[in-house]
Amino acid sequence: MNYNVIAIGYGNELCSDDGIGQRVAKALHLSNVKSIAVHQLTPELAEALVNADFAVFIDACLISETSQVQVQLLSPESFNIIAGHTADPRSLLALTQAVYGYCPQAWWIKVPGVNFEFGDRLSPTAEIGVAIALQQITRISVAVSRTTPSIKR
C-alpha cells in the first residue's frame, strides 16, 4: 500500500529527551500518514520509504544546537553509512534511491531537548517541542494531500 506521507520518529525512549522522535511518531493519528517509531534508522526502512510520496523524519537534538523546532528539507546524500542512531536520514534516502530507483521528498524535524540522561520522561522543553512537531507534521500532511495525488509506482 502506498502512503501519502510516512513519518519516522527515532531515538532512545530510555534516555529522556532522546525519545522525542518516537513520542511524536506514536502520537500521530492522521489518515494519510503512516507513522513508524523506531530506536534507530536501519536499512530496512528503505522498503517503507519507497511506498510513500513524502517522508518526515523526527529526532531530538541538543538545545545548544537550536532552541526552536527546526524543519529542514532533505535530499538524498550518501556521506554517512547507516550504522545505528548515528545514521543520517539523508543516507537512508540515498539508500532508498540506490536500491529502488526512487525516494520520496523528505523533511527532517529536529526537536531540541535538554535532558538525555537515563529516564523515560521528557523535559518540559521537549514536551513543548513534541507539540510543535505534531503541528508541523499536520501542516505538511494537509499541504501535500491537497496538492499531490498519490504517486503510483
Give the SS3 label for residue 98: helix
Structure confidence at residue 146 (pLDDT): 75
The C-alpha atoms of residue 134 and residue 109 are separated, in whole angstroms, by 10
Using CA atoms, how far residue 7 sits from 15, 21, 90, in Å, is 21, 10, 14
pLDDT-derived band at 57 (thresholds 50, 70, 90) equals very high
Which residues share a beta bridge with 9?
37, 58
Question: What cell numbers appear for 75 in the block?
Answer: 535530499
Domains of the chain, each with CATH number or no CATH: 3-147 (3.40.50.1450)
Is residue 19 pLDDT above 70, yes or no? Answer: yes
pLDDT-derived band at 152 (thresholds 50, 70, 90) equals very low
Question: What cell numbers appear for 18 in the block?
Answer: 532522546
Structure confidence at residue 82 (pLDDT): 55
Using CA atoms, how far residue 65 sits from 62, 78, 114, in Å, is 5, 23, 11
- Of residues 107 and 149, which shows the higher confidence score? 107
The C-alpha atoms of residue 59 and residue 53 are separated, in whole angstroms, by 20
The C-alpha atoms of residue 18 and residue 60 are separated, in whole angstroms, by 6
Is residue 25 pLDDT above 70, yes or no? Answer: yes
What mean pLDDT is reported for the chain? 88
The C-alpha atoms of residue 152 and residue 53 are separated, in whole angstroms, by 9
Count the neighbouring beta carbons within 10 Å of the beta carbon of residue 65.
Answer: 11
Segment 80-107, tens digit of pLDDT? 555 554 578 999 999 999 999 999 999 9
Q: What is the mean pLDDT of residues 119-136?
A: 96
pTM of structure: 0.90
Spatial CA neighbour of 43 closest among 94, 110, 102: 94
Helix H or strand E encompassing 128: helix 124-147
